[in-house]
Structure 1
Amino acid sequence: MNKLTNNQKKFLRSRGHALKPIVMVGQHGLSESVLAELESTMTKHELLKIKIRADDKHDRQTMIDEIVSITQAHLIQVIGNIMVIYRAFNEEPQIILPRK
């Protein structure tokens, strides 16, 4: 997985701003059904906004780290309980990133 430049992350943050959260992670954390939904959604969307419901900051950060690790995606932004991740499609990427 190539590292994104700051310019590319800024570009993706601006694109992600208008998105609505597609996947919601509840109090039960990353259950099998949430992980299946996440993987299914990542086959349709390169840029994804996820809402995480966790009372404890440590629990929320643990879930964020797990999601990034499991999806093999780039963490673009975290604001409160909303995170934005990016994983380009293997074939025919929809989002064309600015050059490095």
Structure 2
Amino acid sequence: MLSGKQKRYLRKKAHHIKPIFQVGKAGVNPELIQQIGEALEARELIKVSVLQNCPEDKSEAADAISRQADADVVQVIGSTIILYKESQENKTIDLPSA
């Protein structure tokens, strides 16, 4: 679980990042979760865009992705979800202490 201070830090780092995944009419599915998990291991911090034709609400999609990919939701803003998961092998982000 991330503290408020850590979330602010991650929001600042994510500001310039472009979304690399889109959740569309297929919704949150196992293939998407697997790809997001791999991207989180490589990058630690990613953005996911939720399209208008997505069957789930953006907050429901964020919860489902974070639960299944074992990641933390940093922020849901507009139709964009910011996710963070500490990498086991490619650790690049040094979070401030809680």
Question: What interval of TM-score do these two structures reach, taking the shorter chain for normalisation?
Answer: 0.7 to 0.9
Q: Are 1:14 and 2:15 matched, yes or no?
A: no
Post-superposition offset of 1:58: 5.8
Question: 1:81: which partner in 2?
Answer: 79
Given candidates 23, 26, 39, the residue that maps to 1:25 is 23
Please report the TM-score for the alignment, with normalisation by the length of structure 1.
0.85
Moved >3 Å (runs of 4+): 54-58
Q: d(CA) in 1 for partners of 2:37 and 2:70?
A: 10
Question: 2:37: which partner in 1?
Answer: 39
Contact 1:68 1:85 in 2 (8 A): yes
Post-superposition offset of 1:35: 2.1
Post-superposition offset of 1:39: 1.9
Please report the TM-score for the alignment, with normalisation by the length of structure 2.
0.86
Identical columns (%): 29
Deviations 1:41-77 (A, max 9, x none): 1221100100011458963222111001011111101
Post-superposition offset of 1:40: 2.0
Unmatched tracts of structure 1, length 5 or more: none
Instruction: Tell me: CA distance 1:91–1:41, structure 2 relative to 1, closer, same or farther (3 Å).
Output: closer
Considering only aligned residues, what root-mean-square deviation do their CA atoms show, in Å?
2.0
Number of residue pairs aligned between Structure 1 and Structure 2:
98
